[in-house]
Amino acid sequence: MLKRHARAACTALAAAGLLLAAAGGATAGPAPATAAPTAGTSAAATSAAATLRTAEAPSELLAALRRDLGLTPTQAKARLAHEAEAGATAARLRDRLGAAFAGAWVDGADAATLTVATTRAADAAAIRATGARAAVVTRTLADLDAAKAVLDRAADASTPVRYADPRTNRLVVEETRAGAAARLLAATGTDPALVTVVRTAEAPRPLYDLRGGDAYYMNGSGRCSVGFPVTKGTVNGFATAGHCGRAGTTTSGFNQVAQGSFQASVFPGNDMAWVATNAQWTATPYVKGSGGANVQVTGSVLQPVGASVCRSGSTTGWHCGTVQQHNTSVTYPEGTISGVTRTTVCAEPGDSGGSYISGSQAQGVTSGGSGNCSSGGTTFFQPLNPILSAYGLTLKTTGSGPGPGPGPGDPEPGGTWKAGTVYATGASVTHGGATYRCLQGHQAQTGWEPPVVPALWQRV
């Protein structure tokens, strides 16, 4: 569990995730940089993508990207801008390619190269027209995810991690003992040609122990970290990892002052929970960054594979890395967790529940992993949007008021779009007499109405 400063304890966090309960919360927040439009990308869309990051990259974020990714401030700013544009472009192409979509990723120290994969050769020209590279492959992302779901149902701790790798168009299964993956493939009837087996000595496990990244304590003993501050009606609280506590578990803050209690929790299956706090605690739109500085949270748009993410936790503080795979399944001793994101960010016990953030966009809460912040490791985060949606929570963001009442706010005039609603990719809404399709999953907020954010909504 993570520690944090008093007021920051309730702040919303954003970034990558480890199942690490023991210490800490985290702050993260990149600044939005502006990049020149890529060929085939409209200036409006590029500008809209840039607004999904903060106006200026905080110095502590730039310093962390230098330390963990070896980037100069100029390179870090360029990378953040490129990632914002790549996320918008990849989302539009995923919508256009439909069932043929086979994944997307960015490459290069500045993340300037976006590759989008498809199973239809005829799609290549349309992909290249956006400035992205095209990869024609044999299996769709949906095909790989379906095959992974079969493996998930039969996996145990000897094959702890499984994911679809868009770069190789294959599944990856990590095994802790020789032959474990082969036995899993045989038991499920999975074609070995579909799978790359990786031997690992890592054993992901929950490491039990509020601003995002601050520490909180459960029932006066174990410690975890605050993920992201949220509201539900007039109630303040925070999102965190489910393995940190069950419904009814009481919490105290980083300062050991009575704080609140878990309202709902899921673990295993997913790793999500939320804590409602008492009147002494107030949700803020910040994550605890390097040196304790506040990092702003402006939204919850999930970034693509290859994008940079930073994590805040009460044990190890602020660390950065990259997104490796989304929708990963990992089997801990307690059971299988599905739908988490795999990252190269390090973490240690007590960082559990803390924030993962990319730019200024909240990504998820630390679930679990392996390794440490001395030798490095692999970590996993539970994406934040499913937590917000499951429990009817509103992410605290900069510029947001006290928040709407329970659940989404009132319908906007002339349409079904509502501020406060969590929209998944592909969702359809109306606004101002027109129909729009959601390109990137996010929680809607005032100022991000469909007509003004083409990075998030496409008119149909």
Q: What is the domain-level CATH number for residue 429?
A: 2.10.10.20
Residue recorded with tokens 């995810």: 145
What is the number of other CB atoms lying within 10 angstroms of the CB of residue 192? 11
The band of 206, judged by pLDDT with boundaries at 50, 70 and 90, is low
What is the number of other CB atoms lying within 10 angstroms of the CB of residue 449? 19
The CA distance from 88 to 70, in Å, is 25
Tell me the backbone φ, ψ of residue 58, rounded to 5 degrees. Answer: -60, 145
Q: Which residue has the higher pLDDT, 414 or 282?
A: 282
Residue 178 inside a domain? The answer is no
Residue 457 inside a domain? The answer is yes
Residue 181 inside a domain? The answer is no
Give catalytic status of residue 308 as yes or no.
Answer: no
Find the catalytic residue in 271, 308, 326, 370.
271
- 202 pLDDT more than 90: no
Find the catalytic residue in 265, 308, 352, 400.
352
pLDDT digits over 89-138, tens only?
A: 999 999 999 999 999 999 988 889 999 999 999 999 999 999 999 999 99
- 55 pLDDT more than 70: no
Q: 115 exposed, middle or buried (CB, 10 Å; 0-12, 13-18, 19+)? A: buried
Q: Which residue has the higher pLDDT, 2 or 158?
A: 158
pLDDT digits over 228-243, tens only?
A: 999 999 999 999 999 9
- 72 pLDDT more than 60: yes
Mean pLDDT (the chain) is 85
What is the number of other CB atoms lying within 10 angstroms of the CB of residue 335? 11
The band of 48, judged by pLDDT with boundaries at 50, 70 and 90, is very low
CB of 249 within 8 A of CB of 264? no
Give the mean pLDDT of 141-161. 96
Find the catalytic residue in 5, 82, 243, 326.
243
Residue 414 has what pLDDT? 62
Domain with 422 in it? 415-460
pLDDT digits over 313-370, tens only?
A: 999 999 999 999 999 999 999 999 999 999 999 999 999 999 999 999 999 999 999 9
The residue length of the chain stands at: 460
- 399 pLDDT more than 80: no
The CA distance from 364 to 340, in Å, is 9
Residue 187 parent element (H or E)? helix 180-188
Residue 389 inside a domain? The answer is no
- 226 pLDDT more than 90: yes
Residue 433 inside a domain? The answer is yes
CB of 54 within 8 A of CB of 61? no
The band of 413, judged by pLDDT with boundaries at 50, 70 and 90, is low
What is the number of structural domains in the chain? 1
* In the chain, % of residues over pLDDT 70: 83
Give catalytic status of residue 367 as yes or no.
Answer: no
**Segments in 26-170 forming alpha helices (H):** 43-50, 59-69, 73-97, 124-129, 141-154
The CA distance from 325 to 346, in Å, is 15
Return the structure tokens found at 51. 């607004």
The CA distance from 294 to 287, in Å, is 6
Q: Is 411 helix (H, G, I), strand (E, B) or coil?
A: coil
CB contact set of 227 (below 8 Å; sequence gap of 6+): 12, 13, 25, 212, 238, 239, 240, 241, 353, 354, 355, 364, 365, 366, 384
Residue 63 inside a domain? The answer is no
Residue 372 inside a domain? The answer is no
Residue 234 has what pLDDT? 93
Residue 442 inside a domain? The answer is yes
Return the structure tokens found at 269. 């299956």
Give the mean pLDDT of 188-216. 86
The CA distance from 177 to 90, in Å, is 37
Give catalytic status of residue 326 as yes or no.
Answer: no
